[in-house]
Amino acid sequence: DAGITQSPRYKITETGRQVTLMCHQTWSHSYMFWYRQDLGHGLRLIYYSAAADITDKGEVPDGYVVSRSKTENFPLTLESATRSQTSVYFCASRLAGATEQFFGPGTRLTVL
């Protein structure tokens, strides 16, 4: 049971480049989430999705784009990366109607 996976685990890019972080879950959970974790801020929600083709903004959505064409995948794209987007990104998922969230291992992104 693979659960929830993220790729890549580590990424270094340059300012202005487009970057896509992948999230894949094998549980058929309807809800998926993207968080970023920064020192002093804890985890903050970027975007979430309630089902395929349904997405909504979280607390810090600026500079990010998401899509969800398939239930199991929820990619996060940084259209033009900035240094302030250097962070650790976590994907999470849960069943509709359930309370517990399950997290992926994270992607450490560095923007030079």
Partner 1 sequence: KQEVTQIPAALSVPEGENLVLNCSFTDSAIYNLQWFRQDPGKGLTSLLLIQSSQREQTSGRLNASLDKSSGRSTLYIAASQPGDSATYLCAVRLFTGNQFYFGTGTSLTVIP
Q: For residues 8 and 105, which CB has a smaller minimum distance to partner 1 in the complex?
A: 105
Distance CA 54, CA 76 (A): 14
Burial label for 54, CB within 10 Å (0-12, 13-18, 19+), is exposed
State the nearest-atom distance from the C-beta of 27 to partner 1, in Å: 14
State the nearest-atom distance from the C-beta of 62 to partner 1, in Å: 16
Contact 81, 62 (CB under 8 A): no
Contact 108, 12 (CB under 8 A): no
Q: Do strands 31-38 and 87-94 pair parallel, antiparallel, or not at all (unpaired)?
A: antiparallel
Q: Which residues are at the interface with partner 1 (CB under 8 A)?
A: 31, 33, 35, 40-45, 48, 50, 58-59, 90, 92, 99-106, 108
State the nearest-atom distance from the C-beta of 103 to partner 1, in Å: 4
